Structure 1
């Protein structure tokens, strides 16, 4: 089974907690703080593995959580950082944030990596909070939570040659003749629902990968039929082989030239840059009576209206023209660059766009829900999660930071008094005036 789309959940590891500890040694009766910092949580990293060809593995495992960092230790020892979680993906995978629909990365070559969920920082131990006035603090931070998100993986087939055309024009049959691939073949539309890949041996030491892509219909660029499920795969191919059926009849309401125009229009509407992709026009089913007359008219219209001189006639049933087509494709591939992808792919370092950035935004908003005052601020909520409220020193530190940010003064202006309930994130507190 070919799987080319998956939705998965990723979460970076939480940072390890810092600890409160003091030196307790025989000849050091008043040892100072000795609580170490927690270790960093692991990142979730996608790495391209050229040995993979589908997203099949993600049908069975949809959640990926990196390990958390180790807690700090006494004697000021730092907790161990967690190992990163490496998730292997096939070349041609596009990673998209499910919430924002932002493209996180476009992974195309073996070994490329992107950090999709950053691990949290470790919490600080009490050795980090020593001051001249407070020489024995009992304050330590919890580890920061790792990033989490749902991402969509889309696989665009990494083939040298893409076979395009209306449904049932003979693409799958052609692939089965020129390679060892055995796609499902039948005489009805949309036999091919997913791309089939085959390696074509030219016979002179050259070879290339050919993809039989699902058939197009009008409106595909808007998602009609298989629509985008098909079109995204064309973007990766180096050459388009446009297969046109010479056996269509007027009774079917079809004409080879009209078919060729409609398919190219759908490709252009999906992505205008694909017009620049080299395209070979192939006339299929030439063994069918009447095909030769249709081919002559088809050639004439292409030449007169588009300046296209070459149309390659083939018959997969009789093998007519097959070897000539293979040689022609191989020669074209030799004459063009290795990977003329539509989109500009950033360098590997630029792919790692999700790095931890220090939160410098100290702004906050206050709104009222009945009798409760709700304080909203990413900075304060992050501080809240990292504060160990079992420690009196930690609670007082949290209160000092709130006062310094101006939260207390703003609450008073809004009418908060002793005993007023204040909500921050999932926590609720009583507002207390300092005596």
Structure 2
């Protein structure tokens, strides 16, 4: 992968922030957009802007073709069996809520179980809390190992014949852990449960095959993988989707409406009521084209090299603690500096043009498991380099020295 050629395609990276060249290390929150994606969205608005599935005029037909073409690209990208199994959503959060409300609440009851982990993002935790409360099901957690990984032995112990749903993040947005989804899915299926995968942090960074993984549902967001904000998708197995009730009602998701009853369209349209995020879908399709042109395997290898390099460099800073396993992690490092609040760390780094994330990362239960209130996080993507990590390391050393003198 030619990293310099890749970086040239991201206009936002070629600027100064607070008098310093921008070093963007917050892609786990939201990635930057290449010129091809920006241009695709602009072209849609300039040439094809119209509603989809409605008008018979030329612009409406072109918009519909672009929208459905993006669905086909997502299906191929995930190796779904067919485009009809791809539902466009606002992102991972909406997709997981659709499963927790439209599926889980109809199959779970008193005494049933929903199994998740303590490392889940709030988007893959709160919907299951609400589903358990609404149905009387029990919410159970697979315990974490000391390094934040999952043991398949613990998975086996936690999942029982009463388990109806298992929902686990493929990649932790805090620990960088890559969870053994395929093995967990096999255990879930043996128990008669379905496997839901939060793919928000995996889809941008590694090749995903939902059939090979054994995912019954798989959710992801576009804005973390070079696409616009406000667009994502849910993959679901056909039999599950066909038996799910929609949770949002209105135009375009109906088949026939009477005064006191209505029927729904076939999948996926029954779950896409109202005017969809058409430009976002076009941008998502363009982002998929871009990522595939670079190569998902090359992106994953590049990020793993950066993560290993960052772990090595940051390990030299006395008083800096990193969280999660040293091996088998994606391109992010979550850390704290002794006696310095992560928000202060992020503020100092921002003054040097370095953008990182600080806070609880929408993972408050995991923060409590780590025995911290917040952490700092540097996350890498295909456009980052070892030089970015060198700048981060030098700035952290300066930050430590500054606060050390201030405290002293």
TM-score category of the 2 structures, normalised to the smaller one: under 0.3
Question: Larger C-alpha radius of gyration, 1 or 2?
Answer: 1
Structure with greater contact order relative to length (CA < 8 Å, sep ≥ 6): 2
Higher strand proportion (structure 1 or 2)? 1
TM-score in terms of structure 2 length: 0.23
Higher helix proportion (structure 1 or 2)? 2
TM-score in terms of structure 1 length: 0.22
